[in-house]
Chain A
Amino acid sequence: MTGAPLELVCPAGTPAALRDAIDAGADVVYLGFRDETNARNFPGLNFSRPELRDGIGYAHRRGREVFVAINTYAAAGNQAAWHRAIDDAAQLGADAVIVADIGLLDYAATKHPGLRLHLSVQAAASHAEAIRFYHEAFGVRRVVLPRVLTVAEIAQLTRQIPVETEVFAFGGMCPMAEGRCSLSSYVTGQSPNRQGVCSPASHVRYEQRGEALVSSLGGSTINIFDKAEKAGYPTLCKGRFAVGGSYADYLFEEPTSLSTGEILHDLARAGVKALKIEGRQRGRAYVAEVVRQFRSLVDGMAGGDAPAGAVAALRQLAEGQQETSGAYRKGWR
Chain B
Amino acid sequence: MSFAERPVRRLLLLPGTRHLAEMLLNRLAGLLARRHAGMLDRLADFAGATCLIVPRDLPAAFLLTLQPAAQPPQLELVDPACVTDARATIRTDLATLLKLLEGRIDGDALFFSRDLMVEGDMEVVVALRNAVDDAGIDLIGDSAAACGPFAAPAEKLGRHMAGMAARLHRRLAITIMGGDTA
B79 interface contact, C-beta 8 A: no
A63 interface contact, C-beta 8 A: no
Asked whether, in the complex, the Cβ of A44 is within 8 Å of the Cβ of B42, the reply is: yes
Looking at chain A's contact residues, the main secondary structure is mixed
Q: Which among A8-16, A87-95, A175-183 touches the partner chain?
A: A8-16
| Contacts A14-B134, A206-B119 given; does A283 touch B129 at CB 8 Å | yes
Number of interface residues of A (CB under 8 A): 39
Residue of B nearest to A257 (CB): B112
In the assembled complex, the Cα of A206 lies from the Cα of B120 at a distance in Å of: 6
Residue of B nearest to A214 (CB): B119
A302-333 CB mask vs B (1 if < 8 Å, else 0) is 00000000000000110111000000000000
Partner of A285, one of B42, B105, B118, B131: B105
| Contacts A16-B135, A44-B126 given; does A286 touch B112 at CB 8 Å | no
Partner of A286, one of B42, B108, B125, B131: B108
Looking at chain B's contact residues, the main secondary structure is helix
Asked whether, in the complex, the Cβ of B114 is within 8 Å of the Cβ of A230, the reply is: yes
| Contacts A15-B134, A285-B106 given; does A42 touch B112 at CB 8 Å | no
B177 interface contact, C-beta 8 A: no
Q: Which chain A residues numbered 188 to 239 have a C-beta less than 8 Å away from chain B?
A: 200-202, 204-208, 213, 225, 227, 229-232, 234
Asked whether, in the complex, the Cβ of B133 is within 8 Å of the Cβ of A17, the reply is: yes
Partner of B107, one of A17, A48, A283: A283
In the assembled complex, the Cα of A285 lies from the Cα of B136 at a distance in Å of: 11
B48 to chain A, nearest CB (A): 15
Asked whether, in the complex, the Cβ of B118 is within 8 Å of the Cβ of A283, the reply is: no
| Contacts A43-B130, A283-B129 given; does A16 touch B136 at CB 8 Å | yes
Asked whether, in the complex, the Cβ of B126 is within 8 Å of the Cβ of A201, the reply is: yes
Asked whether, in the complex, the Cβ of A232 is within 8 Å of the Cβ of B112, the reply is: yes
Residue of B nearest to A199 (CB): B122
B158 interface contact, C-beta 8 A: no
Residue of B nearest to A46 (CB): B130
In the assembled complex, the Cα of A48 lies from the Cα of B42 at a distance in Å of: 10
Number of interface residues of B (CB under 8 A): 35
Asked whether, in the complex, the Cβ of B130 is within 8 Å of the Cβ of A208, the reply is: no
Asked whether, in the complex, the Cβ of B104 is within 8 Å of the Cβ of A285, the reply is: yes
In the assembled complex, the Cα of A186 lies from the Cα of B42 at a distance in Å of: 28
B172 interface contact, C-beta 8 A: no
A45 interface contact, C-beta 8 A: yes
Task: Name which of A42, A44, A207, A213 has the most chain B CB atoms within 10 A of its CB.
Answer: A44
In the assembled complex, the Cα of A233 lies from the Cα of B136 at a distance in Å of: 25
B103 interface contact, C-beta 8 A: yes
B95 to chain A, nearest CB (A): 15
A282 interface contact, C-beta 8 A: yes
> Which B residues have a C-beta under 8 Å from some C-beta of A?
38, 41-43, 45-46, 103-109, 111-114, 117-123, 125-131, 133-136
Instruction: Show 15 residue pairs from A and B whose CB-CB distance is below 8 angstroms, ordered by the A residue.
Output: A43-B130, A44-B134, A45-B42, A45-B130, A200-B123, A201-B125, A201-B127, A205-B122, A206-B118, A206-B119, A213-B114, A225-B114, A229-B114, A285-B103, A319-B112
